[in-house]
Amino acid sequence: MSKNEFLYILRQSLEGEIDSSAIEQNLRYYDQYIGVHPADEEKRILDELGDPRLIAKTIIEADRAAKQKENNTGNHSYQDTSSYGRDEFRDGYNDSAYNKNYNNHKVFFKNKWYHKLFFAFILIAILMIMSVLGSILFRFIFTLGFPILLIVLLVILFRRN
């Protein structure tokens, strides 16, 4: 497998699983890590790295774990976890420019599927309560309010005459 094939498989494995900026950061990292070497040295490095699908799975799991931890702790700032488990491969790579862009990005509320389901149930419950109260009020107006209104109108008519 060549460096380009490795990076292509890694990109395809990460697509749709993590955000595109994290994909690009990981591709830049592995591109720099593999670097430009003679074919035998490149093959040794690629053998050392292993299957790009397995690396992608590790990156995806680390990203999900970080998002889960973010949601559990209430800290909604971006945390760079895309290099999780790769410290032995860092080799001087500095991604501080990437981190500066995302440390300032705050997310105040993230809708998960179960949040949406919960809000839908709450909305349905409120609508049901309003319809029950509305029907009670409607009955009250027609059972007591309508006769009282008729009496008041009759009194007004007879006073004028």
pTM of the full structure = 0.45
Asked whether residue 140 is domain-assigned, the answer is: no
The count of structural domains within the chain is 1
User: Are 78 and 37 a contacting pair, CB within 8 Å?
Assistant: no
Place of tokens 């509305």: 134
Tens digit of each residue's pLDDT (9 = 90 or more) over 13-32: 998 888 888 899 999 998 88
Residue 103 contacts residue 77 (beta carbons within 8 Å): yes
The string of DSSP letters for 72-106 reads HHT--B----TTTT-GGG-TT---HHHHHHHHT-B
Considering the domain boundaries, does residue 154 fall inside one? no
Mean pLDDT score, 72-89: 51
Q: Is residue 157 part of a domain?
A: no
Is 118 domain-assigned?
A: no
Q: What is the pLDDT of residues 45-55, one digit of tens each?
A: 888 889 999 99
DSSP code at position 40: H
Contacts 24+ apart (CB under 8 A), 24-31: 25/80, 25/82, 25/95, 25/98, 26/59, 26/82, 26/83, 28/95, 29/83, 29/86, 29/89, 29/93, 29/95, 30/6, 30/55, 31/3, 31/7
Q: Is residue 117 part of a domain?
A: no
Q: Report the alpha-carbon distance of residue 30 to residue 50 in Å, rounded.
A: 12
Of residues 82 and 39, the one with the higher pLDDT is: 39
**Residues 66-80 pLDDT 10s:** 888 888 875 544 444
Measured CA to CA, the distance from residue 148 to residue 151 in angstroms comes to 5
Asked if residue 80 is part of any domain, the answer here is yes
Range of 87's domain?
3-103
Quote the CA–CA distance of 62 and 56 in Å, as a whole number. Answer: 10
